[in-house]
Amino acid sequence: MVKWFFVVLLMYLSCTNVLQAYEASYKLPSPVIDETLQIDRKIVDVKRSFMSYLELGEGKAVVFVHGNPTSSYLWRNVMPYVAKSHRAVAVDLIGMGHSGKPDIEYNFKQQFRYFSRFIDELELDDIILVGHDWGAAIAWHYARKNPERVTALAFMEGALPPLMPAESFDALGPNMGPFFEAINDPVVGHQLVVEQNILIEQMLPSLVNRTLGEDAMSEYRAPYVDKLARKPLLAWPRQIPIAGSPRHTHRVMKGIERFMSKTDMPVLLLYASPGSITPNALIPWYVERIENIETAYVGIGLHYIQEDQPKSIGLALADWLRRLD
């Protein structure tokens, strides 16, 4: 037990140092961002549980899908730009945000099933998907599986090819590799994510250019005050396909990569500088493979770019949506 305590301590300090180094290297003067939530929250029953969502505006549905460890709150300052001409819907994935917390594993397959049922329960068709982080993977996978229901897709900082699947943790890079390798350790990962809450307390604020205020941090912390509620936070990084495992997400990522090269669906890629998992140098990879793609640079940002550049993201989406119509 003592041995494991020191292992966890060393890995915690290592992860902290990685995040602090990343922060020190890239953080720049920050904008002033509204942290209040002024959009009504709604609930829909899904698979013996319930899912929470924000909704604003009328018209064709634009569905926003967050990733780890965030929630629909991430989109609060983007949605109003879209809602001027469309029905903006931002979901809380199952087990996250204000959605229910059923006793499941929270792997990709289960998350996707709940998301798909959410779309069914709201009776949404001809939808436009907007995804970030793992939400981008869900959006792309949904579009691949349901091409008749999705008319266009926008994504940013996505947990997607070519980053995934990866041959090894080292292939994720000198910052992400060691961090996610530690989280995938059965003992260390539990200590870091469940006991220390490192994804909320350190990773999230470190990957926002500005300093998150107390209102934002309180909103992001609220769903995970109970340690047992942090199960989805730990499950997501363990879904990263490394050397073919987990098999399901490995197949999902390979399928998404093939779909990217085949689809003529309108796609918008939003990116920031320097970015995180979608650095500027990666943009040509998508442009070369996706036939009907546009790109939009939104300014300075790391991974959670909605917390730094909501206006730029909102305006870019609104302009793209206008031209789609």
Active site residues: 133, 157, 303
Rounded Cα distance between 245 and 254, Å, is 12
Residue 307 Cα distances to 74, 75, 82, 98, 258, angstroms: 7, 8, 17, 19, 31
Written as one string, the DSSP assignment of 58-118 is -SSEEEEE--SS--GGGGTTTHHHHHTTSEEEEEPPTTSTTS---SS---HHHHHHHHHHH
Using omega within 30 degrees of 0 as the cis cutoff, is the peptide bond preceding 31 cis? no
Cβ atoms of 127 and 62 within 8 Å: the answer is yes
| Strands of 170-283, DSSP E | 267-274
Q: What is the rounded CA–CA span in Å between residue 83 and residue 97?
A: 21
Among the listed residues 27, 25, 24, 20, the one whose alpha carbon sits nearest the alpha carbon of residue 209: 27
Reading across the β-sheet that carries 293-301, which strands appear in turn?
41-46, 49-56, 87-91, 61-65, 127-133, 150-158, 267-274, 293-301
CA distance 6 to 213: 32
Q: How many CB atoms lie within 10 A of CB 155?
A: 25
Q: Tokens for 20?
A: 């602090």
